[in-house]
Amino acid sequence: MELRQLQYFVTVAHQGNFTRAAELLHLSQPGVSAQIRRLERELGHQLLDRSGRTVRLTRVGEAVLPHARAALAAAEAARRAAREFDGLRRGRVRLGMVAGAALTPPPALGTFPGLATTLAAFRQEHPGIDFALAEDSTARLIGALREGRLDLGVIGLPAAAGGRADDDGWTTLSGLALHPVLEVPLVALCPAGHPLAAGDGPLPTAALTGHDLVSTPPGTGLRTALECALAGTGAAPTVAVEAAAPPQLAELAAHGLGVAVLPDPGAVPGLVVRRLVDPVPRVRIALVWPTGRPPEPPTAALLAHLRAAYPGP
């Protein structure tokens, strides 16, 4: 039994006519008829009733037809799987990320794997796939994903007070799929001697009002999480200095330029860490990718690898 015989049988059964089936298959009518007769001889039953002007299925033909279609579908699935492996031999994935997006995770995250570690493990499995990495704000990364200039993104989003994710509380993510990676609370890093550095207990978020703050630019996840948390208290931040990456924020705060609000980086000389409450500002790191077009095999493979490495909070 050959796949081409099953294909001829299915086509004739659908068309009800040998001549039309042969035209669709770009074959001669006698050739199609001969192959189906060979199939019938192998099965030991007549599959098609040729006695009328229209070819009809016999009872055996009706029973065999679903299996023939399934066999053809399975063969096509096998071809697709092989083509996907061909696509994984070489390729390029354009990955955008917010500045400092856990390429090296802060000590507060413990054994959480950094993005650089995860990408290195993927490339060991697929050495022919290259990466083009770009850093930008969450807002611009979302635009690049929608416009097809990026394949995947690692973005920062604010999470609602209490840690419950709110996909649309910051921006409209229509046309994009989102996979949360982690959620972390933000803390206040106060220069030694700063009024907010006094005390050991938690610091109400509203206490930041009126003080010079150090934060990322507008449109970033950290900045938006700070703005949302203060908005819940009826206030707005006074950002005196902006910087792109969390390590820069901590360094600027250590030089007395303001209070930095970011995930706890661990011990930093010259800074006092104050936990924020009422509400707790939280930022969420998430993978995002476009839903309007199927990803290329290299992108699909990397996405699967990242989702397995980061199952989410």
What's the gap between Cα 211 and its chain centre? 38
Written as six digits, the tokens of 22 are 């042969």
Look up the domain containing 174 and give its range. Answer: 91-309
> Domain check: are 118 and 160 in the same one?
yes
- Residue 215: predicted pLDDT: 93
> Domain check: are 35 and 56 in the same one?
yes
pTM (predicted TM-score)? 0.62
Residue 205, domain CATH: 3.40.190.290
Q: Which residues does 213 contact at the CB level (< 8 Å), separation at least 6? A: 226, 237, 238, 239, 240, 258, 259, 260, 261
> Domain check: are 72 and 129 in the same one?
no
Q: Minimal CA–CA distance to 140: which of 96, 172, 94?
A: 96
Q: Minimal CA–CA distance to 95: which of 237, 313, 303, 308?
A: 303
Residue 41, domain CATH: 1.10.10.10
> Domain check: are 56 and 134 in the same one?
no
> Domain check: are 173 and 95 in the same one?
yes
What's the gap between Cα 81 and its chain centre? 21
Q: pLDDT digit string (tens) for 250-293? A: 999 999 999 999 888 878 899 999 999 999 888 888 899 998 88
Q: Minimal CA–CA distance to 106: which of 278, 256, 283, 307?
A: 283
> Domain check: are 112 and 198 in the same one?
yes
Q: pLDDT digit string (tens) for 94-126? A: 999 987 665 555 555 545 577 888 899 999 988
Tokens 């995770």 appear where?
A: 105
Higher pLDDT, 83 or 187: 187
Q: pLDDT digit string (tens) for 73-101? A: 999 888 777 666 665 677 899 999 987 66
Higher pLDDT, 293 or 12: 12
Count of domains observed in the chain: 2
Strand-pair partners of 190: 272
CB 257 within 8 A of CB 230: no
> Domain check: are 62 and 98 in the same one?
no
> Domain check: are 78 and 105 in the same one?
no
- Residue 169: predicted pLDDT: 36
> Domain check: are 129 and 14 in the same one?
no
